[in-house]
Every structure is written in C-alpha cells, then in structure tokens.
Amino acid sequence: MADRRLEAPGRFTGFSPLNFALLVALGAVVLASMGKVAPSPQQLVDGVPGMVNLVGRMLPPNTEPAFLARIGLRILETFQIALVGAAIGILLSLPIAWCAARGVSPLGRGNVVVKAFISFLRTVPDLVWALIFVASIGLGAVAGTMTIVVDTIGFCGRFFAEAMEDAEKEPQEALSAIGAGRGSILVGAILPDIMPSLINSSLFALEKAVRSSVVLGLVGAGGIGQELKVAFDLFQYRNASMIILAIFAIVLLMELCTDKLRARIQ
C-alpha cells in the first residue's frame, strides 16, 4: 500500500469555493459591462472609413513657419508648466510625506490624517483639478501649474512616504541613541538612505507632469493642449496632426532624458 505521506497535495488547495464564486461573479460583471460599453465588431468596421478620412485630412502636417513658431512657444509654455509645477510639487511633497510616514512622522499617529489628504489629492483626476483652478484663478498657465503641483503632491507624497517608512532602521536608531531629534534623523539617516528612490520618483513625477500638462489646455489651463482643442474645434486637422507630433516629441524627449538619469542613479 502506498505511503499517504508521499502523495502529492491537491492542485487547488488554496482556492476556496468562496474564491471561486467571487471569480465567477467578477467575470460576469466584466462580460455584462462589455455588452454595454465595448465596441461591437460592426461598429469597428463602420468606423474605419471615418478614421481613414480623418487621417487623410490630417496629412501632411502643417509645417508653415509662422504656425511652427506659435506651437513652439506653446510647447515651451507646456514644458514650463510641467517643470515648475513638478519642482514645487516635489519640494512640498517632502515635508508632507514626512508627516504622513508611519513610524517617522512628527505627528505620531496623526500621520493617517496626512495620508488621507494625500490620497484625496491623488484620487481627484488632474483634469478636474484643472477645472477647479481655471474656475478659481482664471484661464491660463498658472491654473495649469497649480494643477501639476497638486497632482505631483498626490503622486510623490505617497511614494516619498513609503520610501521613508522603508528606510533602514539601524542608522535611525543610532542617531536617536546619541540624542538626535526627529528632524535630524530625517536629514541625517532617512534622506541619504532613500535618495535614489526620491530621485526616481521625482523623475517619474516630471514625466507624468509633462504628459498631464499637454492635455490641461483642453480645459483652458494653458499649454499646447489649448492649441489642439482649437485645431479640432475649427476642423484644422493638419494643424492638429502637427501638434500631436510635437506632443509626441516632447514626451519622448522627456522619457529619454529621465531614463538616462535613472540609469545613472542605479
């Protein structure tokens, strides 16, 4: 008779009937939702001529010098919005993340309030923040910059706080043992330890800021997005295609630069 102790265990021992029921329910929700909002094959086929027609009207992209000079200025403004917004956001994120980080925060257990605040900033989409700032500050680049600041705090605040929580504990204890206060421990032990992570997150935030800033103009918050909206509203599709190419170039350039910087940090 075979030794039962040597038998292989069942294949799905960690998969309870409840888990199976939940998986089936999730599948049902996805299928039901697809029936409502996913494109049908017929709709996809019907859309092809319209897409071909639109692409045809977009080509060739408008390369008139006066137009290129105008969108050049808008691209510069977009980059300025992203850069200034991300820089201010990253700087503000540091003290906010410190207050939010568990076990490190000078607020003790009050850190959950700051964490909730960061979650709130992150949960509201950037276009909604842009609408709020356009309504309160007015149309233009300043509203865009404010949007990027808030969006960056939501992003970096979370990652900075997590990095601070995961920082090596021994050097912190060593500084605490010789009478260093919380601020000293932050600058002496935590920040040096998490610097690569901070720089990495900041570069991602900058990339994200550039991508966000190109669409903020759609709701009047300055930058190249404003030109894109005007081009589509006035059926100037050749202008629109040139703007899309310019946006692609700036985002690609930013990603190349941040990738290179990240590689150097690693």
Partner 1 sequence: MLDLVTDRPSAAAQALARTGPLISARGLCKSYDRRRMILDGVDLEIAAGERVALIGSNGSGKSTLLKSLIGLHPISSGTLQCFGDPVDARGSRKQRLAMRRQTGFVFQKHCLVRRRTVLSNVIHGLFGDAGSWRAFSHALAPPDWRDRAMQALAEVDLADKALERADALSGGQQQRVAIARALVRRPRLLIADEPAASLDPVSGRNVMELFTQLCRDHGITLLYTSHDMAHAVDYADRIVALKGGKVLFDRPAAQVTRGDLKDTFDG
Give the binding site for partner 1 (CB under 8 A): 168, 170-171, 173-181, 183-185, 187-189, 191-193, 195
Smallest gap from Cβ 168 to partner 1, in A, equals 8
Q: How far is the CB of 188 from partner 1 (least distance, A)?
A: 5
Nearer to partner 1, 23 or 265 (CB): 265
Residue 47 vs 181, nearer CB to partner 1 = 181
Q: How far apart, in whole angstroms, are the C-alpha atoms of residue 174 and residue 171?
A: 5
Smallest gap from Cβ 178 to partner 1, in A, equals 6
Q: Which is nearer to partner 1, 118 or 164 (CB)?
A: 164
Provide, rounded to whole angstroms, the least separation between the CB of residue 113 and partner 1: 22
**Nearer to partner 1 among residue 81 and residue 167 (C-beta):** 167
Q: Are 213 and 85 in contact (CB under 8 A)?
A: yes
Nearest to 213 by CA among 87, 69, 63, 96: 87
Report the nearest approach of partner 1 to the CB of residue 184 (Å).
Answer: 4
Q: What b/e readout covers 91-110, taking b as 16+ CB neighbours within 10 angstroms?
A: ebbbebbbbbbeebbeeeee
179: left (phi over 0), alpha (psi -120 to 50) or beta: left
Cα–Cα distance for residue pair 3/145, rounded to 1 Å: 71
Q: Which is nearer to partner 1, 55 or 195 (CB)?
A: 195
